[in-house]
Amino acid sequence: MLLELKDVHVHYGKIEALKGVSLQVGEGEIVSLIGGNGAGKTTTLKTISGLRSCSAGSVFFEGADIGSMPGHKRVLAGIGQAPEGRGIFPGMTVHENLLMGAYARKDDHSKELAEAYELFPRLAERRSQAAGTMSGGEQQMLAIGRALLSKPKVLLLDEPSMGLAPMLVQQIFSIIEEINRRGTTILLVEQNAQQALRLAHRAYVLETGRIVRSAPASELLDDPQVRAAYLGGDVGGDPGAVAAPGPETVALSKPAKAESVKDESVKGESAKGEPAKDDAEPDGADAPDGE
């Protein structure tokens, strides 16, 4: 198993944000973590990347316990992250932001840099532009591209569609699928549950710090209770209910090969790179609320 959490507990002061979370991500998978605001999704990713410490439990990567490993060494080990709120450096150029993803690497990163520009042609067009003047969608591309520069074995994506125009959301998810097709394992946190479940092989449902359901993504997509709680489905019974925990299920066959995606302009976005009003999103706060 490439990545595994076993009975992980995390606190913010006296508040317990994660209450015994256990999950697995196999090599080559796309695994989605869905849940409402405050469920603990972002905290889970921060715990994997070393930004939050476990109060109890263990995090394993490639079979080794990395609980005491500092965050920068986890990046070198192969854990990359595109954080919620994007976290780009606004005063630096697009090219300089991408290079920051390879900051800790000592080997040649020209292949990953070329791949980032290939996946996101808009970044290549604006490589000399200050990142802070780009639209929210372009900044999201930059955050993902920067994470790829670390040459991750597993890529943690935190709300990649947040605040984006619908057309750009489709492009971002197509590119995520292409990244996976090229060999990168992905753990995806996403409030757009329908898109996430369509993309993923397997998924976990997280509620108030606990995993309450684990199943193949296609099974959760068709589950009436999950549809009622997270997908806006009109079904009988308690709309807030989620099925009781069940045994974890191995990955299904991978999704169909994604076509190479070339980014297109978003309606309302300035050709000069000024932020578009329809997909701008402020950075998220480092707190259990709003995850």
What per-residue confidence (pLDDT) applies to 65?
97
What per-residue confidence (pLDDT) applies to 288?
56
Say which CATH topology domain 1-78+154-160+187-234 has: Rossmann fold (3.40.50)
Supply φ then ψ for residue 6, to 5 degrees.
Answer: -125, 110
Q: Give the list of residues 6+ apart from residue 14 with CB closer than 8 angstroms, or none.
A: none
N-term to C-term CA, the chain? 26
Is residue 89 packed enough to be buried (19+ CB in 10 Å), middle (13-18) or exposed (0-12)?
middle
Q: Which residues of the chain have pLDDT under 70?
A: 232-291
Is the distance from CB of 181 to CB of 115 less than 8 angstroms? no
Is the distance from CB of 235 to CB of 224 less than 8 angstroms? yes
What per-residue confidence (pLDDT) applies to 77?
95
What per-residue confidence (pLDDT) applies to 233?
55
Q: Give the distance, in angstroms, between the CA of residue 290 and the centroid of all CA atoms in the same chain.
A: 15
The domain segmentation of the chain, as residue ranges, is 1-78+154-160+187-234
Is the distance from CB of 186 to CB of 209 less than 8 angstroms? no
Tell me the per-residue pLDDT of 168-198, one tens digit each, with 9 for 90 and over: 888 999 999 999 999 999 999 988 899 999 9
Tell me the per-residue pLDDT of 214-255, one tens digit each, with 9 for 90 and over: 999 999 999 888 888 887 654 333 333 333 333 333 333 334
